[in-house]
């Protein structure tokens, strides 16, 4: 059976070692902070995760850029020229134009390589949710499934990728224009922590407000309890914005309550972290429809 290339982008926030183990091609998004532009590689080679969050805590506001059509073509062309087909699993179209750029690049390259297949699927996911989605598809490929079978699996799984997260830094959201100054002020005074998820359209939705950090983390556990498909055997992905102790606490609560066998913890990368600020904490899992 002929091998094919599984491609994604750096918004998957996978650990770089795990991405290598899964044999992924990962195309980086970009961010600009200060006077410099950096590519968001999973190994942090251009800007480290802690450096990004330290600068954000100091009040800097990064801006981010989707992957361009040209960058996709540069990543895809050598794979196709080498005789392999490509399945690209994209960052949510509800949050970025990266999916659209990948689709345009694929159309261009199909004309150049008519004998090759390039499929682009909108994950409607982000960060660890996208990472989990890609991980599951890679496991299907590694189990010997064909290109067509993995494409079908990927399309079928989109509605079941559950994302729940909480944001700690209301001042960062205020600086970025995502909440008003008054909302930020009262939120800080009352220790309000928003709890959000990614909806069926792949967009962020504010679901509730928790009083205090611990309550917001435990809320993530309750949402996991309410909707996880198989909390024992399905893998769970936790990502964090430079708050590893909180990530370990969340993982520990999930293990204690449900006996979950596989929990992967990684950083929220610089592109996603540019929008959430430091202290973001997520739990991503397979559930009943989002």
**What pLDDT, in 10s, does the model give residues 85-130?**
999 999 999 999 999 999 999 999 999 999 999 999 999 999 999 9
Domain extent listing, the chain: 5-158, 161-286
Q: For residue range 146-194, list pLDDT tens digits in order.
A: 999 999 999 999 999 999 999 987 776 666 565 566 555 455 555 778 8
- Spatial distance between the Cα atoms of 77 and 86, rounded to a whole number of angstroms: 10
Task: List, as one string, the DSSP characters of 240-267.
Answer: ESS-HHHHHHHHHHHHHHH--S-EEEEE
Res 191: pLDDT: 72
Question: How far is CA 119 from each of CA 150, 255, 288, rounded to the nearest angstrom?
Answer: 11, 36, 26
Q: What phi and psi values does residue 120 have, to the nearest 5 degrees?
A: -120, 120
Share above pLDDT 70 across residues of the chain, in percent, rounded to a whole number: 92
SS3 17: helix
In three-state secondary structure terms, 194 is: strand
Euclidean distance between CA atoms 252 and 263, whole angstroms: 10
The pLDDT value recorded for residue 19 is 98
pLDDT tens digits, 259-279: 999 999 999 999 999 988 999
* Whole-Å CA distances, 264 to 27, 129, 213, 247, 285: 21, 11, 21, 10, 11
- 287 is written with which tokens? 């559930």
- Residue 197: predicted pLDDT: 93
The confidence score (pLDDT) of residue 187 equals 54
The CATH fold of domain 5-158: Rossmann fold (3.40.50)
CA distances in angstroms from 227 to 34, 142, 156, 221, listed in the order given = 41, 27, 17, 10
Label residue 59 left, alpha or beta by phi (over 0 means left) and psi (-120 to 50 means alpha): left
Task: Determine what percent of the chain is predicted with pLDDT higher than 90.
Answer: 83
Mean pLDDT, all residues of the chain: 93
Fold type of domain 161-286: Hypothetical Protein Tm841; Chain: A;domain 3 (3.30.1180)
What is the pTM assigned to this prediction?
0.94
Q: Is the pLDDT of residue 286 over 90?
A: yes
């Amino acid at each position: 059976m002929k091998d094919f290339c599984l491609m994604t982008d750096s918004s998957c926030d996978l650990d770089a070692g795990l991405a290598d183990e899964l044999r992924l091609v990962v195309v980086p998004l970009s961010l600009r902070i200060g006077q410099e532009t950096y590519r968001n590689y999973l190994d942090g080679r251009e800007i480290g995760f802690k450096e990004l969050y330290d600068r954000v805590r100091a009040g800097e506001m990064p801006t981010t850029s989707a992957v361009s059509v040209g960058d996709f073509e540069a990543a895809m062309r050598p794979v196709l020229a080498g005789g392999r087909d490509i399945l690209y699993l994209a960052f949510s179209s509800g949050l970025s134009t990266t999916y659209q750029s990948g689709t345009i690049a694929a159309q261009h390259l199909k004309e150049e390589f008519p004998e090759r297949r390039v499929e682009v699927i909108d994950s409607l996911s982000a960060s660890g949710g996208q990472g989990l989605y890609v991980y599951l598809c890679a496991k299907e490929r590694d189990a010997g499934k064909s290109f067509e079978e993995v494409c079908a699996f990927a399309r079928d799984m989109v509605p079941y990728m559950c994302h729940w997260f909480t944001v700690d830094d209301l001042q960062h959201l205020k600086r970025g224009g995502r909440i008003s100054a008054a909302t930020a002020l009262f939120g800080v005074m009352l220790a309000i922590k928003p709890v959000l998820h990614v909806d069926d359209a792949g967009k962020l939705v504010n679901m509730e407000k928790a009083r205090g950090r611990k309550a917001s983390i435990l809320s993530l556990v309750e949402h996991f309890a309410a909707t996880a498909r198989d909390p024992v055997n399905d893998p769970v992905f936790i990502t964090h914005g430079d708050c590893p102790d909180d990530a370990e606490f969340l993982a520990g609560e999930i293990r204690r309550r449900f006996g979950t066998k596989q929990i992967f913890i990684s950083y929220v990368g610089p592109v996603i972290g540019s929008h959430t600020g430091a202290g973001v904490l997520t739990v991503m899992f397979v559930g009943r429809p989002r």
